Structure 1
């Protein structure tokens, strides 16, 4: 019997690599899209570092979010598509459309090709950024019922791109008559083991704390979740009948300030304690600095905001289990030390 084919977009990404690992371990055939086929070497290295040496069921195809042509071929023959690829946050952009257009167009290219090729279900990796932004007076934990309010001034283009691309996906499904199903996974800050020196923007903060590059901390609170658990939630969202038409927040339900994250690292890795910052910069000062320095705008836009989240839906509806946020943070740091990224 031939194996079910799952197409995973953006295969070299941090979340995507953990999804591919689990799909191969569970006996699926995987075709992954990459912007350039040279990424094959990196993906193979990461999978081997993740313990997967048998790669006969993995294939590669070049496709990116700025061109529609390759997607039909990329998705042909798939039972499921997990759409993870997204433009990475450019901190120093000239025009917010640079971030928003490829995200929205890319989702539509993938969904059109999935509909045309009779795919059963697409799981879209959305983000917490499509849930929390623009809610300045929130006092109860964010859930899947919440949507970012883009009418509020100061929402960062990255959060806009995530919100608008997810909205575009739900609008597409509402008007599609092919029977295609959609589920979304909306992760908070993703931690967990990095598998090569190529990793996500959430992990960079851990590296910069351990190496002493971060001198002071912003007053930012965030949920944290392990990439391995984000991957397992994608697989549940892909296969469980009750997941069709649903959004799922990927969160442990815990919230830490950046100072609390620094303190976790200090305790777990005393040999790096001297490098790890202890001071928190006042939010008012950070916002002033961000006016002059575009690299600070994203962090300044979320400083001081309420960030509690609930994972009740994923745990109750899908039976999802996750590691603690502390375990995820420590796993990130330990993997960076093991790979020699942090010395």
Structure 2
């Protein structure tokens, strides 16, 4: 399937980035991708091979860093669309929130300016549910694309960085005289088929359950979306005229929890062994532990909270059909087993 259009995907080594590249290549697009160092080019090729790509004549690699101006004009030149997927993601909470916020905001503006100068039709930006659902009381509330996290409230640095970067992107478009269009995707926790060894923090939760490293699960409720569905939604939003100027929440139907995910994995012992814990941590213990383990602070603040999220807009406007969370978790676990055996 040949397609003459060229799409730039920023951050090709990332979980969403590589799946998006994979689907674009399968659909016959010419793809260009940025990575901070060309040394990681072979890593992307290996992941794409694991995803079933055999020919690499329609992909091009460019070294470009969101914190620097170098090569962005070259990266966007001749592109019809830009899928801005790249964003700094911390391993832990940084000492200074600006370590995340400034690169996320400035990097987004760098990409938008370069795209506008190059005559790109539309940028589809990966934001986060973090920019939607963290300053509104979730009780009796269904979150939609109309909702915004208030960046002036007390937020984790990553959530604040995604909110500030998305607000800056919409401001850029509003104050801009050009023809560049913007669409934004706001995913919840992203799971799904792993193509390489560099695991996202969401997928690491499943790995910790499979290996028995997680000895007990906190009663943490959250929504799930499959990485393949996130990639699909970016491409649908890229092409659909109605998506211009819109945000889309990316979430499967209904919420789950870590104890439920552990229970699902334990229900298939012939596939995943028997290391998955059945122990559940009481809320009071998580709160006490969070005093001594800073990484548990964000967990303890979300205990007992279930956020209802509507994915109706993406389904109705774009015809998006996300997988259910159970299928996504099983596929995540199966792919981790394959990667570990190879």
- Secondary structure at 1:99 match in 2: helix
Distance 1:293 1:168 in 2: 33
Distance 1:287 1:151 in 2: 25
Q: Unaligned stretches of 5+ in structure 2? A: none
**Mapped partners of 1:267, 1:292: distance in 2:** 33
Return the offset for 1:134.
2.2
| Aligned residues of 1:139 and 1:306 also touching (Cα < 8 A) | no
Alignment of 1:98-117 (within 5 A): 98-117=99-118
How far apart are residue 56 of structure 1 and its match? 0.5
Q: TM-score, normalised by structure 1?
A: 0.95
Equivalent residue of 2:8, what SS?
A: strand
Q: 1:142 matched to which residue of 2?
A: 143
Retained in 2: the 8 A contact 1:268–1:330? no
Q: Do structure 1's residue 84 and structure 2's residue 85 form an aligned pair? A: yes
Q: What CA deviation, in whole Å up to 9, does each residue of 1:142-192 have, x standing for no partner?
A: 111111133433x21111111111111111110111110000111111111
Q: How does 1:75-224 map to 2 (within 5 A)?
A: 75-153=76-154, 155-224=155-224
Q: Displacement, 1:272?
A: 4.2
Task: Provide the rounded CA distance (Å) in 2 between the counterparts of 1:198 and 1:18.
Answer: 13
Aligned residues of 2:35 and 2:62 also touching (Cα < 8 A): yes
CA contact (8 A) 1:253 1:308 kept: no
Give the conservation status (yes or no) of the 8 Å contact 2:108–2:169. yes
Cα displacement (A) at 1:198: 1.3
3-state SS, counterpart of residue 339 of structure 1: helix
Q: CA RMSD in A?
A: 1.7
- Aligned positions of 1:328-343 closer than 5 A: 328-340=328-340
Q: How big is the shift at 1:271?
A: 5.7
3-state secondary structure, aligned to 2:123:
strand
Deviations 1:290-309 (A, max 9, x none): 23322223323333222221
Distance of 1:291 and 1:93 partners within structure 2? 17
Deviation at 1:2, TM superposition (A): 7.4
- State the distance in 1 between where 2:298 and 2:75 align: 33
Instruction: Check conservation: 1:96, 1:157, Cα contact below 8 A.
Output: yes
For the residues of structure 2 that align with 1:271 and 1:66, how far apart are their CA atoms? 43
Residue 92 of structure 1 and its aligned partner are, at CA, apart by 4.2
1:137 is displaced (CA, Å) by 4.1
- For residues 123-155 of structure 1, the C-alpha deviation after alignment (integer angstroms, 9 at most, x for no partner) is 0001111111122343222111111133433x2
In structure 1, distance between residues paired with 2:15 and 2:258: 21
| Partner of residue 258, structure 2 | 258
Matched residue, 1:277 = 277
Give unmatched runs, 5+ long, in structure 1: none
The DSSP-based 3-state class of the residue aligned with 1:205 is helix
Q: What is the alpha-carbon distance in structure 2 between the residues aligned to residue 161 and residue 341 of structure 1? A: 36
Aligned equivalent of 1:303: 303
Q: Separation in 2 of the partners of 1:2 and 1:315?
A: 25
Bigger Cα displacement from structure 2, 269-278 vs 249-258:
269-278
Q: Count residues in correspondence.
A: 341
